[in-house]
Structure 1
Amino acid sequence: MNRLFFQPHQAGLSKVEAAEHTLRSINPDVSFESHNHNITTMDNFTHFMERISYGGLEEGKPVDLILSCVDNYEARMAINTACNELGQIWMESGVSENAVSGHIQLIIPGETACFACAPPLVVAANIDEKTLKREGVCAASLPTTMGVVAGLLVQNVLKFLLKFGTVSYYLGYNAMQDFFPTMTMKPNTQCSDRYCRSQQEEYKKKEAECPKVEAVQEEEEEVVHEDNQWGIELVSEVTDAELQAASGAVPDLPEGITVAYTIPVEDTESGETVGETEQSLEDLMAQMRKL
């Protein structure tokens, strides 16, 4: 946030105040509501939950979407817990400590994996996150990487709210290789968050109640030309017997996985082989020239 919003004349202001002043100067028509507190504490978490439930533009209505731009695991888990309990859709984002990679993630409670469904190895191994950070050492930071990730997040928000294009459930960014991995993660049925498990059950019930639409397979019409002056026909040059002979054994694979091709079995019995000889390569080439 410091690299994107902070201006020199805002020295002494909190991050929240500085961000509000900068954003208000960019677009004064936007309504801002700032709260400078730690949402991981009990009192502030309760207030955070209340603002999610009743902080929409319409009085008494919940917010449409939450954007997470925090920089630590505890704050992300606090947002995750609140959204799971309230069934609130939110988007998570972050930049790695090496400052050259980041990600955005859409989280729909019950339908997609929440932030606790696939915890980092450090957390899964019950290692305190704070022990990995050296005292007084700040993580690397590049405004360009943060700008790219922020742009991806906002673009995804526009697609989600305005309902156009394809919304990314997870989109990564690796600046070193210009690599953008994307995926969809299903929720973990053994998630440590009980509200996540509860939301999964609710989602299953809704899916069961929805009428199933059977997919109608459209038959492709055979292309028939009205005239064929030259009598051109398309035929297969490989017979089924030849194809079967050229195919190897199909391995035992899990359901839903097929092979694109198989390795033909080598036929060692048929065919002629060249016997060994003591003649040099030059002698053999000379014999070939005489043919």
Structure 2
Amino acid sequence: MAAGGERPTGRMSAEVTDSNPYSRLMALKRMGIVEDYELLLFDYDRVELANMNRLFFQPHQAGLSKVEAAKNTLRNINPDVEFEVHNYNITTMDNFQHFMDRIRGGGLVEGKAVDLVLSCVDNFEARMAINAACNELPQVWMESGVSENAVSGHIQLVVPGETACFACAPPLVVAANIDERTLKREGVCAASLPTTMAIVSGLLVQNVLKYLLGFGSVSYYLGYNAMQDYFPTMRLKPNPQCDDRSCRLQQEQYKKREAERPNTETVDDEEEKEDEVKHEDNDWGIELVSEISEEELKAASGSVPDLPQGITVAYTVPDQQTPPDNAEVVGDTGQSLEELMAAMKSL
């Protein structure tokens, strides 16, 4: 739902045809994999010429609020998505309460919570406001960001009580008591490398699809370092001494839920034992032996090159072993293959 109750004027045909540019989306909707979408957009800045490097805004949108410009761009991409935009500062008291109310009841079905909150803000205060709201509700959300020098970024899944929230591990700008507002310069857009932002936003969207559609492994934390093409991953545990009271409360509730959950990993020893396979006839003398040990595998494999962490080889070429000096070696008789085959047939 857009601001003021405004609805998109055009809707794309649901027919799955080659002429329909959204045919894949419609096919997924028919299969029940993808349902309708609604995006709630919150921001209070206006589009400036310095934002044109984002490749998302367009020059004719200069002066519009960022949420209105984003709605217009996204509606042109897919008119089937419903939008609800709010152009205000979520860090103020009144706006923060309304922000929480829309997370709690602004889902596709009015009155139900949203499925996921995405944080793409560029300042600490806004991140802390999102963090406080999601901890109190509680609401799963994904945080993302690009560094000030624009050559690194990260995405992070935050599950209140289960993983570290944004306040559990504050960034250096807060740990060093730096006022981040002094870091911004007039007319300059921080993190002004659109390639880095495109990569980080792509990683964020990919993680969202895995989380909502339930495939693959959802990343709890995935970083990106453009200088070394390095993608560190980790899972951050919550801090028991977190400054956010709601975070500590969610941690206690998560521990209680885990303690009450039945232990499904315990299996009777009888079920684990496999029945011994017996064959009355075994004319060929086939035997079932244990799997090759790791030591035997290393002995039968070739040398493995030095590789960075997380990369392994699929197979290696065995080293050519020279026979020992006392080994019996068959001499060369000078006979051709056909002659040897004829001699074997005559035996």
Provide the TM-score with structure 1 as the length reference.
0.73
Residue equivalent to 2:221: 170
Residue equivalent to 2:197: 146
Residue equivalent to 2:177: 126
Provide the TM-score with structure 2 as the length reference.
0.62
User: Is 2:231 aligned against 1:180?
Assistant: yes
AA of the residue aligned to 2:126: A
Q: Is the 8 A contact 1:113 1:188 kept in 2?
A: yes
CA deviation map 1:204-262 (0-9, x unaligned): 110111011234585699999x7679xxxx999x9xxxxxxxxxxxxxxxxxxxxxxxx
SS at match of 1:32: strand
Residue equivalent to 2:100: 49
Residue equivalent to 2:110: 59
Change (3 A) 1:124 1:11: closer
Match of 1:17 among 58, 62, 68: 68
Q: Is the 8 A contact 2:123 2:180 kept in 1?
A: no
Residue equivalent to 2:256: 205
Between the aligned partners of 2:292 and 2:111, the Cα distance in structure 1 is: 69
Q: Is the 8 A contact 1:16 1:36 kept in 2?
A: yes
SS at match of 1:176: coil
Change (3 A) 1:222 1:131: farther
SS at match of 2:86: coil
Between the aligned partners of 2:133 and 2:260, the Cα distance in structure 1 is: 27
Between the aligned partners of 1:136 and 1:68, the Cα distance in structure 2 is: 23
User: Is 2:149 aligned against 1:98?
Assistant: yes
Count of equivalent residues: 235
Residue equivalent to 1:160: 211
Between the aligned partners of 1:9 and 1:142, the Cα distance in structure 2 is: 21
- Higher mean Cα deviation, 162-171 or 137-146? 137-146
Cα RMSD for the two superposed structures? 2.8
How far did residue 97 of structure 1 move?
1.0
Between the aligned partners of 2:292 and 2:119, the Cα distance in structure 1 is: 59
How far did residue 163 of structure 1 move?
0.5
How far did residue 115 of structure 1 move?
0.3
Change (3 A) 1:83 1:221: same
Residue equivalent to 1:27: 78
SS at match of 1:88: coil
Between the aligned partners of 1:16 and 1:204, the Cα distance in structure 2 is: 39
Q: Which runs of 5+ in 1 are unaligned?
A: 239-291
How far did residue 128 of structure 1 move?
2.6
CA deviation map 1:153-200 (0-9, x unaligned): 011001000111000000001111111110000100000000000000
Residue equivalent to 1:74: 125
SS at match of 1:40: coil
AA of the residue aligned to 1:177: Q
CA deviation map 1:84-112 (0-9, x unaligned): 00010000011111111111000000000
Q: Is the 8 A contact 1:4 1:147 kept in 2?
A: no
AA of the residue aligned to 1:162: L
Change (3 A) 1:137 1:5: closer
Q: Which runs of 5+ in 2 are unaligned?
A: 1-50, 296-347
Change (3 A) 1:59 1:81: same
SS at match of 1:94: strand
